[in-house]
Amino acid sequence: MKHSIKARYAIIFVGLMAFVFISTWCVNSWFLERFYTSDKVRILQSAYTEIDQVVAQANESGKGIIEYYKESYDVDFKNEGPVQRMFRIMGEKYNLMMVLIDSTTDEALMSTNGDRQFLKNRVEDYIFGKDMPHASILKRYDNYVIQKTYDSRSDSYYLESWGYFSDNKTIFLISIPLASIRESVSLSNRFLAYVGGVALFLGSIVIFFTTKRVTSPILSLSVLSEKMSNLDFDAKYTGKEEDEIGILGNSMNKLSDRLKDTIGELREANEELQKDIEEKVKIDDMRKDFIANVSHELKTPIALIQGYAEGLMEGMAEDPESRDYYCEVIVDEANKMNKMVRQLLNLTAIEFGNDMLQLDRFDVTELIRGVISSAGILIQHKDISVKFEDQGPIYVHADEFKIEEVITNYLNNALNHVGGDRKIVITAEDNGEEALITVFNTGLNIPEEDLSKLWTKFFKVDKAHTREYGGSGIGLSIVKAIMDSHKKSCGVRNVAEGVEFWFTLNSHRES
């Protein structure tokens, strides 16, 4: 990644460590010597103050500092008095070389190891201004000064405090050797560079694994969010952290589940909406087809009724026989229109559930015989052979009136389309659970592509919708609606020498 958090954390950490090391190196190089010198000046100031208090005590006792120093005695400290102890500790702790001279007696006191005569001559030279070495004044007070001096004998620098104490008769020189601070700074910086390099390397390794531990869960969350954006809600955050990242991961898992459920509901709603739209389009198409088919079916009888009625009005049928013929045509066409309207009303009632079923137990074979008997005159008129094959009484549980309408429509359909040997065979079988009723008629097979369309209102295999058979194309639609209301099956199939229609009913034997 070009701008990964891990890389940025590593760069920031390494940069911060490098800044600290470089800053420390610069501070050492530029300010350590000054700080070291300032600290030594503070020691000289403190030493002057403490010794000046002892000088004041000696003056109060009427003695000089040297005599007072010699008379200080304390058996508890192995013959070392408090004044002696103070000078010793001061010399050992701060590496001070001190010489005190009583100007009235010219007696000198050397409190630490060193060349007493050299120090005495040196402070006298300072007092009288003779053979002054190269020195730089750091602090100047009323009775004394603090200066930095170079000693050519030892090739080293010293910080020296010299002058008078507050009694104005005790001369002093306090000297502190200055170590080679520059060499110390160089050594310190070199050591810091070694330690800093190792620390920077080890720190980089630590920060690499630390940031990897921190950024790995974030990377997992990033991958999870990308999968969620691609609508993959099965991916889940599996980290075990209990910190802010863990809380975020659990929140994303909950969000994923909610989005999955919500989008699933939206998909279902969308599918239902799509189905509703398709159903609406289908219904709209059916409505258009229905209007066109009804208009087509009503157009011919209305034209005939209008034509024959106008003929009667114009006196074209003056003799009684012609008038009777004209009236018969008008009545016949009106009956056809009335029948079609009643069929449409019946079909609509069944399809919308307004025509409730009256379920009962009855013998379907007896019902079939009754339908055949009712159509006996039409069967004789058309010279058709109708045969009923049955197994005896078959009791079913259904609406007897509507099943009679189904059988009647099947028989009428067979009578209208019978051909060849002009035979119709009706069968009724019972397998114990269902009764199967079939109506077969000889004649031409129905094209396979039209078999599923036979149940559509006004559909006719005769594309020209001729009036040869007198059917309206609604009967089979009523059959389908009745069987759907019974929640049973019906169908049609091409067989040898003809076509066979069938439907099933629930058997209902006596217990």
Q: What is the pLDDT of residues 13-59, one digit of tens each?
A: 778 878 887 887 787 777 777 888 888 899 999 999 999 998 888 88
253-259 mean pLDDT: 78
Judge whether 390 lies within some domain. yes
Model confidence at 299, in pLDDT bands (50, 70, 90)? Answer: low
Judge whether 323 lies within some domain. no
C-alpha span between 503 and 157 (Å, rounded): 127
| pLDDT higher than threshold 80 for residue 167 | yes
Judge whether 350 lies within some domain. no
Res 347: pLDDT: 63
Range of the domain at 178: 5-184
C-alpha span between 403 and 283 (Å, rounded): 27
Res 367: pLDDT: 92
Judge whether 286 lies within some domain. no
Query: Residue 310 burial by CB count (10 A; 0-12/13-18/19+): exposed, middle or buried?
Result: exposed
112 contacts 175 by C-beta, under 8 angstroms? no
| pLDDT higher than threshold 80 for residue 147 | yes
DSSP code, position 172: E
The enclosing domain of 437 has a CATH number of 3.30.565.10
Model confidence at 442, in pLDDT bands (50, 70, 90)? Answer: very high
Which residues, listed in sequence order, are joined to residue 140 by a DSSP beta bridge?
145
| pLDDT higher than threshold 50 for residue 96 | yes
Q: What is the pLDDT of residues 54-74, one digit of tens each?
A: 888 888 888 777 777 777 655
| pLDDT higher than threshold 90 for residue 102 | no
Higher pLDDT, 369 or 182: 369
Q: What is the pLDDT of residues 375-415, one digit of tens each?
A: 888 888 889 999 998 878 999 999 898 898 899 889 988 99
For the chain, how many structural domains are there in total?
2
Contacts of 365 (CB under 8 A, 6+ apart): 388, 390, 391, 392, 393, 394, 428
C-alpha span between 468 and 462 (Å, rounded): 9
- pLDDT over 70 percentage in the chain: 81
Half-sphere exposure of 322 (CA within 13 A, CB side): 11
Judge whether 481 lies within some domain. yes
Model confidence at 435, in pLDDT bands (50, 70, 90)? Answer: very high
Judge whether 167 lies within some domain. yes
250 contacts 237 by C-beta, under 8 angstroms? yes
Question: Which of 2-11, 99-108, 113-122, 421-430 has maximum average pLDDT?
Answer: 421-430
474-496 mean pLDDT: 87
Written as one letter, the residue type at 475 is: G
| pLDDT higher than threshold 90 for residue 114 | no
Domain boundary among 162, 184, 206: 184
| pLDDT higher than threshold 70 for residue 355 | no
Res 146: pLDDT: 92
Domain boundary among 144, 164, 184: 184
Domain boundary among 133, 167, 184: 184
Res 466: pLDDT: 46
Res 76: pLDDT: 47
Listing DSSP states for 237-254 in one string gives ------SHHHHHHHHHHH
DSSP code, position 107: E
Q: What is the average pLDDT value for the chain, to the nearest integer?
A: 79
Hunting for tokens 């058979």 — which residue is that? 469
Q: Is 286 left (phi over 0), alpha (psi -120 to 50) or beta?
A: alpha
249-253 mean pLDDT: 76
Higher pLDDT, 228 or 330: 330
143-157 mean pLDDT: 83
Judge whether 25 lies within some domain. yes
Judge whether 139 lies within some domain. yes
